[in-house]
Structure 1
Amino acid sequence: MKTNKNPDVASDLIGHVLSEGPPRAASFIVTIYGDVVEPRGGIAWIGNLIAACAGVGISETLVRTAVSRLVTSGQLLGERDGRRSYYRLSAAARTEFAAAAQILFGSQEAVEWNFLHLTGTEPENDMVALERLGYAKIGQRLAFGPRRPGPNPPRAVIFAAQPSAEGEGLSTSISQYWDLAGHSTSYISFINRFSPFLNIVEQTETLLPSACLTLRLLLVHQYRMIVLHDPRLPPSVLPAGWPGHQARQLFTELYRRLSPLADEHIAGSFVTGSGPLPRTTETTRQRLKAGASVSFF
């Protein structure tokens, strides 16, 4: 017996997430590459980017403008095959995307801590970039925080740091250097925004594959905007009931449930010059395997 699809259900969920307006085009395209394209070879047809962005209210004009800017900034490389334009990630962008994917889908074990002394002529700009990654500014040229996956920041001398005891010395510095209240608010907002998805995606047969991909892209986009800025402090120094744990569980559960039909849509519509993107790869299977190991609350 064939189950009827209900596009209104997906539209309501998408509208709930987009209540404050569509995401920025360039940022959402980065999400598409990170979730869909990079684990399947790193290249996509611009028509697929336009269609995926249309699902969240981003116009074709904005997509083309954003792609042009990503090319100018060195994140994307363009190529043509007949009348079609394709874009692949640059080598530098692929390194950045791999580091971000490790935070989104990899182990949440504690990482080593570093002091970074900025050596460039414009330390203010470098410091802003480090703070966006979750480092704490403790001087004009000195930052402190957990080492991020990927290459070390440029224009910096790095010193490994080791707390004198478990949590000792860190707890007293948390409120001074990190805005945990702000991170907590972001996680709670994410939980409130995406918790309504749970009852619906338990029955994904009522959703179109294209809607599952749109919902998954929104899920990844919203979560990465939070977690990539989280300093990922040790559990021993976080407040009791830290909402980041619940947000992580919610993200992994929804990602796992949406993926079968979302991946079906990718295989049926995303193409390169050499053919369609695969439904799954070893990388996508590892992401789902990691998510399956997270127990839901």
Structure 2
Amino acid sequence: MPLLQQGLTIRAPAMIVTIYGDIVVPRGGVLWMGTLVEICARLGISETLVRTAVSRLVAAEQLVGERDGRRSYYRLASGARTEFAAAARLLYGPQAEADGFLIHHAPGLSDEVARRFRLGRMGPDLYLRPNHPENATLSGLTFSADVMKDGGLLAEYAATLWDLGSFADEYRAMIDLFSPLSAALEQGETLLPADAVSARLLLVQVYRAVLLRDPRLPADALPLDWPGLAARRLFARLYRSLSPLADAHIAARFEGRDGHLPAETAETAARLQSLSLETAD
């Protein structure tokens, strides 16, 4: 585990978001603070940093606190559920090719919103993005677009609208970091159950950081050596490999409002089933 953490900057707020998205939300949505402190301690995050980060997430209306005697519990705030569900669909759901492109005429759109929606800026007030069914709605005019001729130039044009090189570097860094662990597990090596939880959280954290910023362009708009597909397959394979030990440890150690969290729920089973389709030869 220390080898995985070398070179990674693990920030408490982002890791807590990952913990809730991967472990807590599909198991009822509520976690005891003591369990959260325990999880983070194995990742090198102090209790002080955990409590500070939780306070900030509460202030940002991401988490809501509850008390039962001397114990504090935290659940996902209702306003954050849509965002968490969208991220979960990208991480664990089936990957679909974009159906062409959308062109948006959006006067006054801020750079921050354009980044959050993964838009490529074509000109003043004019933006391009791949047409995915889960795309959030933008105000302003929207046109559907397809490449009608000279499609071989699409990848070159896309590279002027999105910083694909930086995304590719992050995908390759993820592959370099987690491929040795995946290979070791395939050769029969094993981890402590608690380390399986930590490894899976780090895997989700690193992959999530780039996936949620990647516009997920159609294949013909990507460079020939695009590493996104290899990163996706590694994520699916390693996540499934780590899950039996990780989920058993979750059931044995992690507590919510009503006692220990379950090892499996309908939602966690659906995630593993969806990922299994991406690891099949």
User: Structure 2 length normalisation: TM-score?
Assistant: 0.90
Q: Counterparts of 1:233 and 1:87 in 2: how far apart (Å)?
A: 37
Q: CA deviation at 1:170?
A: 3.6
Equivalent runs, 1:136-285 vs 2, <5 Å: 136-139=120-123, 141-146=125-130, 152=136, 156-157=139-140, 159-165=142-148, 168=151, 170-202=154-186, 206-285=190-269
- The answer to whether the Cα contact below 8 Å between 2:94 and 2:275 also exists between their aligned partners in 1 is no
- The answer to whether the Cα contact below 8 Å between 2:171 and 2:227 also exists between their aligned partners in 1 is yes
Q: Secondary structure at the match of 2:216?
A: coil
* Bigger mean CA offset, 130-139 vs 243-252: 130-139
Equivalent runs, 1:30-41 vs 2, <5 Å: 30-41=17-28
CA RMSD after TM alignment: 2.3
Q: CA deviation at 1:80?
A: 0.6
Change (3 A) 1:134 1:152: closer
Q: Counterparts of 2:70 and 2:15 in 1: how far apart (Å)?
A: 25
> Which portions of structure 1, spanning 4 or more consecutive aligned residues, are displaced by more than 4 angstroms?
117-120, 147-151
- The answer to whether the Cα contact below 8 Å between 1:38 and 1:94 also exists between their aligned partners in 2 is no
Q: Secondary structure at the match of 1:138?
A: strand
Q: Secondary structure at the match of 2:140?
A: strand
- The answer to whether the Cα contact below 8 Å between 1:22 and 1:58 also exists between their aligned partners in 2 is no
Name the amino acid aligned to 2:65. G
Task: Identify the residue that residue 11 of structure 1 maps to in structure 2.
Answer: none
Change (3 A) 1:278 1:160: farther
Equivalent runs, 1:102-141 vs 2, <5 Å: 102-112=89-99, 113-118=101-106, 123-124=109-110, 127-139=111-123, 141=125
Q: Deviations over 1:39-61 (max 9, x none)?
A: 11211111111111111111111
Task: Identify the residue that residue 6 of structure 1 maps to in structure 2.
Answer: none
Q: Counterparts of 2:124 and 2:83 in 1: how far apart (Å)?
A: 26
- The answer to whether the Cα contact below 8 Å between 2:66 and 2:73 also exists between their aligned partners in 1 is yes
Q: CA deviation at 1:186?
A: 0.9
Q: CA deviation at 1:217?
A: 0.3
Q: Secondary structure at the match of 1:48?
A: helix
- The answer to whether the Cα contact below 8 Å between 2:248 and 2:263 also exists between their aligned partners in 1 is yes
Q: CA deviation at 1:25?
A: 0.5
Q: Counterparts of 1:199 and 1:172 in 2: how far apart (Å)?
A: 35
- The answer to whether the Cα contact below 8 Å between 1:213 and 1:265 also exists between their aligned partners in 2 is yes
- The answer to whether the Cα contact below 8 Å between 1:204 and 1:257 also exists between their aligned partners in 2 is no
Q: Counterparts of 1:73 and 1:268 in 2: how far apart (Å)?
A: 31
Q: Counterparts of 1:41 and 1:149 in 2: how far apart (Å)?
A: 27
Q: Secondary structure at the match of 1:111?
A: coil
Q: Secondary structure at the match of 1:239?
A: coil
Structure 1: runs of 5 or more not aligned:
1-13
Q: What is the aligned residue count?
A: 279
Q: CA deviation at 1:157?
A: 2.5
Q: CA deviation at 1:210?
A: 0.7
Q: Counterparts of 2:133 and 2:255 in 1: how far apart (Å)?
A: 30
Q: Counterparts of 1:119 and 1:224 in 2: how far apart (Å)?
A: 30
Q: Counterparts of 2:79 and 2:262 in 1: how far apart (Å)?
A: 24
Change (3 A) 1:276 1:286: same
- The answer to whether the Cα contact below 8 Å between 2:254 and 2:260 also exists between their aligned partners in 1 is yes
Change (3 A) 1:133 1:192: farther
- The answer to whether the Cα contact below 8 Å between 2:30 and 2:257 also exists between their aligned partners in 1 is no
Q: Counterparts of 1:99 and 1:245 in 2: how far apart (Å)?
A: 20
Of the three residues 93, 101, 115, the one matched with 2:88 is 101
Name the amino acid aligned to 1:261. L
Q: Secondary structure at the match of 1:159?
A: strand
Q: Secondary structure at the match of 1:107?
A: coil
Q: CA deviation at 1:167?
A: 8.2
- The answer on 1:288 being equivalent to 2:272 is yes
Task: Identify the residue that residue 29 of structure 2 maps to in structure 1.
Answer: 42
Of the three residues 46, 64, 72, the one matched with 1:85 is 72
